[in-house]
Structure 1
Amino acid sequence: MTASAILPGSAIAGILLAAGRGRRFDPLGQRNKLLQPIDGEPVVVRSARHLLAALPRVVAVVRDDAEGAQLGAQLAALGCEVALCEEADSGMAASLVHGLRHAADASGWVVALGDMPRVRPATIAALAGAVEAGADIAVPVHGNEHGTQRGNPVAFSRRHLPQLLALTGDRGARGIVKDNIVNEVAVDDPGILLDIDTPPDLLQ
């Protein structure tokens, strides 16, 4: 059965992308940024915990190697479904497609990044609610001294599943967001703009 033929489920699912190598954080690859402590627990655990607080189902995509297994064990203990992605090094799109195929029966998806632990559960719930109310794509926006900025995560309805499954490379779903009508969801949440790219980011 093809993904487009799968009947949708009744709930929005979270897709947590946690298969990157984070070379900007540690060019030598000795420290996985997702395992670094923030607020007393690993970055990726905090990211997953916030997704699980807002959504009934979260699929965490990790690399199919020893480090991915370490990440996966922690995420499974929280209640995530863990999907091992052998093609993760080919780019973010491979991880996203892998996660979507794992949860292809959902009625929509909130696609979140494992290195964004400051996103609030209320923001995730608002994005899921926008899709449930009919939005095809929902993105959070936050106003600050720089004006109003779009951030992550991004929610998609099933309408875009064929396009999402056709993605390749390292751009993720940015092209789909750029080329389609987007429902902006205003949130009082600076966490949508804060990711962990370098060690100082852990202090944000």
Structure 2
Amino acid sequence: MISAIVMASGFGRRMKKEKLAMTIENIPMVERVVKEAKNSKVGEIILVYRNSNVKSILNGYHIKTIYNNQAYLGQSQSIKLGVKGSNNKTEAYMFFVGDQPYLKCDTINKLIDEFNKDKDHIVVPIYGENRGNPVIFPVKFKEDLLKLQGDIGARGIIKDNINSVKFINIRDEKQGRDIDDVESYCNLETNDQIIKHP
């Protein structure tokens, strides 16, 4: 099984508000991500959150939630909490970010299928020319993930094990887009229209 870990405990300082609760087509960003994961081949979904409002958005999805009371330590803390909270029968950890609203379950499944072909490899999606999320780490990297520090995520593990990384090209570059600031939110394209949000 694959454990989906949704990292949703950032502070969104550039947005200056809880961006994961902001809506796109009337659906909160974090809900869009979880909904697609729920419809995919993942075996479980774990939400690592800081803001109780984010957790409440997902009450109807019946997923596991873990409160991150040390979110100030950076993304590494979300990673470690998710790994520790995963099912002990998991074969891999699939890390999602909560602000990637255009990600689709077909892409999630494509990454899982690639992992299942060789369960010793890290699977990284490429959108256009950019690496993105969600990334799959085999369970053999558990101890490395638990040793992470700071806010740089698991990039160091990927770099140190580059020969064990499988890069997968995703045609739809829009799925890799994450929303970091007000400008990127206000210029989202939906149905080829530019939506202007207050």
Question: Shorter-chain-normalised TM-score: which range?
Answer: 0.7 to 0.9
Match among 148, 164, 176 for residue 167 of structure 1: 148
What runs of 5+ residues in structure 2 fail to find an aligned partner? Answer: 190-198
What is the rounded CA distance, in whole Å, between the counterparts of 2:67 and 2:55 in structure 1? Answer: 8
What TM-score results when the alignment is normalised by the length of structure 2?
A: 0.86
| Conserved? CA contact 2:75–2:152, under 8 Å | yes
| Match status 1:114 vs 2:98 | yes
| Match status 1:58 vs 2:48 | no
How many angstroms does 1:110 deviate by? 1.0
Aligned ranges for residues 28-39 of structure 1 at < 5 Å?
Answer: 31-39=17-25
| Match status 1:149 vs 2:130 | yes
Q: Deviations over 1:80-132 (max 9, x none)?
A: 21111111111100011001100052111110101111111111112222222
SS at match of 1:139: strand
CA RMSD of aligned residues (A): 1.5
Q: Deviations over 1:133-153 (max 9, x none)?
A: 22420011233xxxx332211
Aligned ranges for residues 2-41 of structure 1 at < 5 Å?
Answer: 11-26=1-16, 31-41=17-27
Structure 1 residue identity aligned to 2:105: P
Structure 2 residue identity aligned to 1:196: I
Structure 2 residue identity aligned to 1:46: R
Structure 1 residue identity aligned to 2:125: P
Match among 139, 159, 171 for residue 124 of structure 2: 139
| Conserved? CA contact 1:60–1:75, under 8 Å | no
What runs of 5+ residues in structure 1 fail to find an aligned partner? Answer: 1-10
What TM-score results when the alignment is normalised by the length of structure 1?
A: 0.84
| Conserved? CA contact 1:15–1:58, under 8 Å | yes
| Conserved? CA contact 2:101–2:175, under 8 Å | no
Structure 1 residue identity aligned to 2:93: W
Counterpart in 1 of 2:159? Answer: 178
Structure 1 residue identity aligned to 2:109: A
How many angstroms does 1:166 deviate by? 0.8
